[in-house]
């Protein structure tokens, strides 16, 4: 393998002032995020759940009851994509649909007992994944990292939960 020449005489005018990939925070965020997400995706897939389904299950675990439109807004997905997630979770017995008592035209979705029992198991996988990648950080470093990410979210008005 030949050694790369780094002195200025071998840099073309087009290369001058062009930043490297590694000089961008976004490069490192994406690099880490891809690895963290890929490992977690494999973990939940082993339990028969996709990342999108995990986010839907976790959301419903907190709210108890929701409707497809609210889930659509929370997941930042189209009506068709959310409908497919709801159908898959319902087919696996993790979610049920009921006609709303308040509005017979509306549908309410609820976790079943099986869905409620699965969420803590999947949350433990998320915790294990987090510990694997971020466990070496001190409590203060981890808090600071999260605070910085939240600051970026706030400054840019990011609202949609990333599911892919």
* Residue in the structure block whose two tokens are 């439109």: 69
Cα–Cα distance between 144 and 18 in angstroms, integer? 30
**To 5 degrees, how large is the angle CA 20–CA 34–CA 1?**
45
Higher pLDDT residue, 161 or 95?
A: 95
Q: Which domains does the chain have, with CATH numbers?
A: 45-156 (1.10.10.10)
CA distances from 93 to 15, 57, 72, 107, 163 (A): 57, 12, 20, 17, 22
Return the DSSP state at 97: E
Mean pLDDT score of the chain: 88
pTM of the prediction? 0.80
pLDDT (tens digit, 9 = 90+) per residue, 122-147?
A: 999 999 999 999 999 999 999 999 99
Which range has highest mean pLDDT (49-58, 71-80, 92-101)? Answer: 49-58
* Length of the chain (residues): 164
Residue 122 near residue 54 (C-beta atoms within 8 A): yes
- Give the whole-angstrom CA distance, residue 74 versus residue 142: 26
Banded model confidence at residue 73, pLDDT cuts 50, 70, 90: confident
| Least trusted range by pLDDT, from 5-9, 24-28, 99-103 | 5-9
Kindly report which listed range (10-14, 26-30, 71-75) carries the lowest average pLDDT score: 10-14
């Amino acid at each position: 393998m030949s050694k790369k020449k780094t002195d200025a005489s071998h840099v073309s005018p087009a290369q001058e002032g062009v930043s490297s990939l590694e000089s961008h925070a976004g490069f490192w965020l994406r690099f880490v995020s891809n690895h963290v997400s890929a490992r977690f995706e494999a973990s939940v897939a082993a339990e028969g759940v996709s990342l999108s389904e995990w986010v839907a299950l976790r959301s419903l675990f907190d709210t108890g009851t929701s409707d497809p439109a609210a889930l659509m807004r929370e997941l930042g997905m189209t009506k068709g994509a959310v409908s497919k997630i709801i159908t898959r979770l319902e087919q696996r017995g993790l979610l049920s649909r009921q006609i709303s008592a308040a509005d017979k035209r509306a549908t309410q979705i609820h976790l079943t007992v099986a869905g409620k029992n699965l969420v803590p198991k999947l949350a433990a996988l998320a915790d294990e994944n987090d510990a694997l990648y971020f466990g070496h950080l001190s409590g203060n470093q981890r808090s600071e990292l999260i605070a910085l990410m939240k600051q970026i979210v706030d400054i840019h008005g990011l609202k949609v939960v990333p599911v892919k």
